[in-house]
Amino acid sequence: MTHCHPSGLLRIAAAVLCAATLAACQTTGDPRKGGLLGWNEQQAMARQRALEAQRTAAQRELGQEKQRSAELIARQSQLGSEAQTLQASLASALGENDALDARLLDLMGQRKLADAELARLQKTLEASRAARAAARSAAADRTASAPVAADKLAWHSQEVNQYNQLLHAAVILLMGR
């Protein structure tokens, strides 16, 4: 068994203490961290600049998100207004379509028509009624997003208006007989 000399133990203890002291002497710019020498002004200023840059970047990002949110709210409001206008236009076209349908049926009953002409007018009426039902369904649909709803309403309004033109021409034709 080997015995350590007390001076050898002292040297080992001194070396360990010296290593621990050197590790504890590290400086930092963060007052919550640091060793025996602790805080360093240059490191502290660099740390403050880095934190300020992070804060500025976060504020800029927040401003951009607020602007984007405001733009989306404005767009949603605009689409809502467009949808209301389209619904009013569609309601008007549907009312006109109902009136033309009734007038055409009345005139078809009063006039003697060839079978081919009667069949053509009946097909036009059926197609017009199908378009009218689809338009009413689209107008009542509250599940579609605003842009999709606006597109659907515009398309159905255009389709009903086209049938209104056909029915109007048929009414005029039958009235002239």
Which residue stretches of the chain are H helix?
6-24, 41-110, 115-140, 146-175
| CA separation for the pair 60, 76 (Å, rounded) | 24
CB-hemisphere CA count at 13 Å for 96?
18
Crossing angle of helices 146-175 and 41-110, rounded to 10°: 20
Q: What is the pLDDT of residue 30?
A: 60
How many degrees, rounded to 5, is the angle at CA 61 between CA 56 and CA 62? 95
Q: Residue 19, Cβ neighbours under 10 Å: how many?
A: 10
Q: What is the pLDDT of residue 18?
A: 60
Which stretches in the chain have pLDDT values below 70?
A: 1-9, 17-39, 177
Q: What is the pLDDT of residue 150?
A: 81
pTM for this entry: 0.55
Q: Residue 156, Cβ neighbours under 10 Å: how many?
A: 22
| CA separation for the pair 94, 86 (Å, rounded) | 12
- Pull the structure tokens for residue 87: 């619904």
